[in-house]
Amino acid sequence: MPSCKAPSGKRLATDLTNKPLSGIARETDRRDGVKGVGLESGRAVALRQSLNKAGEKERGEQRGQDSPGVFASFF
C-alpha cells in the first residue's frame, strides 16, 4: 500500500482518496488475510448470483411446478 506523508511529516495510515472501491476491498482482503472482508468484486458478485439462480432452478425442478400453490396453502 502506498504511503503518503501528511504536511506535518507524519505518515498517514492509508490513502483512500484516489483508489477505486474494488481496489480498496482487494487490499483489505490481503492485509487482513481473511476472504470476504471488504467489498466483493463485480466478478465475485456475478458468480454468486449465478450459483444462487442455478440452486433455485434445481430446487424448483425437484419440487415441481405446484410449489407456489403449496407455499400459499400455509397462509
Query: What's CA 66's distance to the chain center, in Å?
Result: 33
Which domain range does residue 38 map to?
A: 1-63
pLDDT digits (tens, 9 = 90+) for 23-72: 555 554 455 444 554 555 667 777 777 877 777 666 665 555 555 555 55
What is the tally of structural domains in the chain?
Answer: 1
Asked whether residue 74 is assigned to any structural domain, the reply reads no
Instruction: Say if pTM beats, i.e. exceeds, 0.85.
Output: no
Asked whether residue 41 is assigned to any structural domain, the reply reads yes
Asked whether residue 52 is assigned to any structural domain, the reply reads yes
Asked whether residue 46 is assigned to any structural domain, the reply reads yes
